Amino acid sequence: MEIKRLDGHSFYAAFKHGAELVERNRKKLNEINFFPVPDSDTGNNMSSTLVSAALRIKPENSIYQTFRDISDYTIQTARGNSGLILAQFFNGFFRKMVQKNVLTTAEFADNVRATVPYLYENIDDPHEGTMLTVIKDWAEQLPELAEGIDDFVLLFELSLTTARRSLNRTRNQLKVHRENNSVDAGALGFVFFLEGIVSYWRSQFQDNRHYQESFHQFGDLDQDDLVSDFDTSELPEPGTASLQVSQDGEKLSYRYCTEVLLQKENSVSKSRLKELLQEKGDSLVLAESEEKIRIHIHSDHPEEVVFLAGEEGRIIEQKADDMRRQYDMAHNRMSDIALVTDSIADLPLEIKDRYQIHTIPLNLMIDGVNFYDKSTIDLNYFFKYLEEAKEFPTSSQPSLDLTTNYLRNLSSYYSAILLVSVSEKLSGTGQVFKQAARQIQQEKDIAVSYVDSRLNSGAQGLLVLKAAEEIARGRSLEEVTEIIEEHRSRAGIYVNVNTLDYMVRGGRVSPMKGLFARLLNLKPIVSLDEEGSGIIKDKVLSRRGVSKKIQKLAREINDSRGIEKYALVHSQAPELIPEWQRDIQDILGFQPEYVMEISAITALNAGPGSVALSLLSG
């Protein structure tokens, strides 16, 4: 039995098997992920792209329709640089096809070769010695082989040798691979994908004598070497590679792996998007289907990328992965305890980097588009969106799937996890954290501890900082949990809100109270009670009066319990900070731990012009 005409069902079954082989080797691909940045997620990205697409596709007999679906779904599910390159390859292949139900080997081979220029043209700054090189070498050999082969099984078996040889050459083509004595992770993933296709088709045949005889005409090929899994025994073992990051462009130039999936609208085009984005980062890849465009770029400002993309088309989904945190987690962990909080905790990135604190973003919905707080949207862009919003935005806790997957990834590197959430009285985030923790503990042998901070914003940030300091001192998970549970009652936040209008619109304050405060020009001091519920602690007739009241509270707390640390946070009110900082520093005698803007979701209720003092007593 041979496959002389490739239809949709035959290729889909093989595609699915190739995706499964990549998934089975996901961990190995993560371990040797050194380029373009060593963030240990190539296996995750490739397997997610392929497996997710395979699950969505409903195969049809037509090869044209099947490739249309593969092109569309891989663009929708593509993750990371490697996933986008795969999506671009399938999309390019589909664009070169004519509408037919089946393909011959010669037609398939010509189509693959014609796809390579399209692939290179749509990748910003392509590098040789990567998956691109293996695809190109494999594609260029296919037509020559297809001249004498009319069976797809034999064609893929023989062409696999070309791909494997090209893969081995990637050891020496990029400096980072030479330094680590490793092949390229994306290139290896593509070879696994091809091997999965070959092994599936071979498994469909009981008698392989025809193929054994066919190999004799290719004297330089070793049949036993063609379809076996790639020998990874010479690849670096986890933790033994040098992981040197060179200074010639193969370094972590930008921090966030940012992706946006757009619905095409009006005149949106890849050329326009490339013009807008190519100066915003590197590793830019744009892949498109008939209705959608996926953007991939490494950038320091994902919120800007998302905003610019949203100006050109409707955003369907988005993400921004912190590659520095991924790298540190995989190769440079400071502790065996992972400290995790949510984006409501206002804590500067510098401090999060110092202690390797992980952050799970809450969701912010603006006119049907879901943004990730402190990830794909920041405070300034929030107010930009708000100016044009048709409806007042809403917020929600992280999804259970996102949180569980995040913790599952952490569990591969840490022996324990401490979760510190925003007050459960203010958000359902804590409930999601607890559900995800239970699921991970059922799957993995890992200790997970959860603490409801009963706080938010800067006060939550100070409590998380306290946890980080205790972990850095070498305390156990149980000890840190006990300390944090004890200290949460010693933390507080006092907010000078410029207006109650945002709390009214967000449902935190009744319209009647808001109207009453506006008519009397009352300026409230917003705080939290011992259970973590929002309260109006006092009302004053002027903002300066509010500041004086908060200063008085700080003096009383310091006199009675002693303030260990404090922070100032604000919502687009930098002009107010110097006076606040001077007054509080005069009272306490030392500088704040930090000064920063609040999260976009906190601003949803606090509004612009708010300033808050957060305290943690000893």
Q: Clarify whether residues 261 and 137 are in a common domain.
A: no
Locate tokens 């329709």: which residue?
65
Phi, then psi, of 491 in degrees rounded to 5? -105, 150
- Average confidence (pLDDT) over 315-320: 94
Specify the pTM.
Answer: 0.79
Q: How confident is the model at residue 519 (pLDDT cuts 50, 70, 90)?
A: very low
pLDDT (0 to 100) of residue 18: 96
Residue 126 near residue 120 (C-beta atoms within 8 A) = yes
Tokens of 14: 């093989």
In the chain, how long is the greatest CA-to-CA distance?
Answer: 95
Q: Clarify whether residues 137 and 70 are in a common domain.
A: yes
- Average confidence (pLDDT) over 292-315: 94
Locate tokens 């193929």: which residue?
211
pLDDT at 228 over 70: no
Contacting residues for 246 by C-beta, under 8 A, at least 6 apart: 175, 176, 179
Q: How confident is the model at residue 284 (pLDDT cuts 50, 70, 90)?
A: very high
Q: Clarify whether residues 74 and 158 are in a common domain.
A: yes
38 or 220, which is more confident = 38
Rounded CA separation 104/108 (Å): 6
Residue 51 CB: number of other CB atoms within 10 A?
A: 17
- Average confidence (pLDDT) over 89-94: 94
Question: Is 105 domain-assigned?
Answer: yes
Question: Is 102 domain-assigned?
Answer: yes
pLDDT (0 to 100) of residue 448: 97
Please give the C-alpha separations between residue 162 and each of 135, 142, 147, 235, 494, in angstroms, as whole numbers. Answer: 10, 9, 16, 20, 66
pLDDT at 514 over 60: no
Q: How confident is the model at residue 518 (pLDDT cuts 50, 70, 90)?
A: low
Q: Clarify whether residues 164 and 262 are in a common domain.
A: no
- Average confidence (pLDDT) over 131-143: 96
pLDDT at 428 over 90: yes
Q: Clarify whether residues 196 and 62 are in a common domain.
A: yes
Question: Is 439 domain-assigned?
Answer: no
Rounded CA separation 376/353 (Å): 19
Q: Clarify whether residues 215 and 279 are in a common domain.
A: no
Q: Clarify whether residues 165 and 272 are in a common domain.
A: no
End-to-end CA distance of the chain: 78
Backbone Cα Rg of the chain: 28
pLDDT (0 to 100) of residue 271: 86
Angle of helix 105-121 relative to helix 152-173, nearest 10 degrees?
A: 30
Three-state DSSP at 564 gives strand
Lowest model confidence (mean pLDDT) among 31-35, 95-99, 263-267, 269-273 = 263-267
- Average confidence (pLDDT) over 118-144: 92
pLDDT at 517 over 80: no
For residue 24, what is the domain's CATH number?
A: 1.25.40.340
Lowest model confidence (mean pLDDT) among 48-62, 236-250, 383-397 = 236-250
pLDDT (0 to 100) of residue 605: 86
Question: Is 384 domain-assigned?
Answer: no
Contacting residues for 111 by C-beta, under 8 A, at least 6 apart: 93, 96, 97, 103
pLDDT tens for 390-401 read 999 999 999 999
Highest mean pLDDT out of 124-133, 311-320, 463-472: 463-472
Residue 163 near residue 16 (C-beta atoms within 8 A) = no
Q: How confident is the model at residue 534 (pLDDT cuts 50, 70, 90)?
A: confident
Tokens of 513: 């109270």
Q: Clarify whether residues 30 and 69 are in a common domain.
A: yes
pLDDT (0 to 100) of residue 210: 47
pLDDT tens for 335-382 read 999 999 999 999 999 999 999 999 999 999 999 999 999 999 999 999
What is the tally of structural domains in the chain? 3
Q: Clarify whether residues 282 and 208 are in a common domain.
A: no
pLDDT at 487 over 80: yes
Q: Clarify whether residues 63 and 206 are in a common domain.
A: yes
Rounded CA separation 71/288 (Å): 8
Contacting residues for 215 by C-beta, under 8 A, at least 6 apart: 158, 221, 223
- Average confidence (pLDDT) over 540-556: 84
Give the residue from 264, 297, 331 where a domain finishes. 331
Q: Clarify whether residues 125 and 219 are in a common domain.
A: yes
pLDDT (0 to 100) of residue 234: 54
Lowest model confidence (mean pLDDT) among 131-135, 241-245, 596-600 = 241-245
For residue 265, what is the domain's CATH number?
A: 3.30.70.980
Percent of the chain with pLDDT over 90: 72
- Average confidence (pLDDT) over 537-542: 72
Give the residue from 302, 331, 360 where a domain finishes. 331
Q: Clarify whether residues 203 and 268 are in a common domain.
A: no
Question: Is 609 domain-assigned?
Answer: yes
The sign one gets for the Cα dihedral 561, 563, 567, 571 is: positive
Question: Is 382 domain-assigned?
Answer: no
For residue 586, what is the domain's CATH number?
A: 3.30.1180.10
Domain hosting residue 320, numbered range: 255-331
Mean pLDDT of the residues in the chain: 88
The DSSP string of 316-383 is EEEEEEEHHHHHHHHH--S-SEEEEEETTS---HHHHHHHT-EEEPPEEEETTEEEEBTTTB-HHHHH
65-82 b/e (C-beta count within 10 Å ≥ 16 → b): bbbbbbbbbbbbbbbbbb
Residue 48 near residue 41 (C-beta atoms within 8 A) = no
Give the residue from 182, 209, 226 where a domain finishes. 226
Question: Is 210 domain-assigned?
Answer: yes
Question: Is 164 domain-assigned?
Answer: yes
- Average confidence (pLDDT) over 80-102: 92
pLDDT tens for 444-469 read 889 999 999 999 999 999 999 999 99
- Judged by phi (left if over 0) then psi (alpha if -120 to 50, else beta), residue 560 lies in alpha
Q: How confident is the model at residue 507 (pLDDT cuts 50, 70, 90)?
A: low
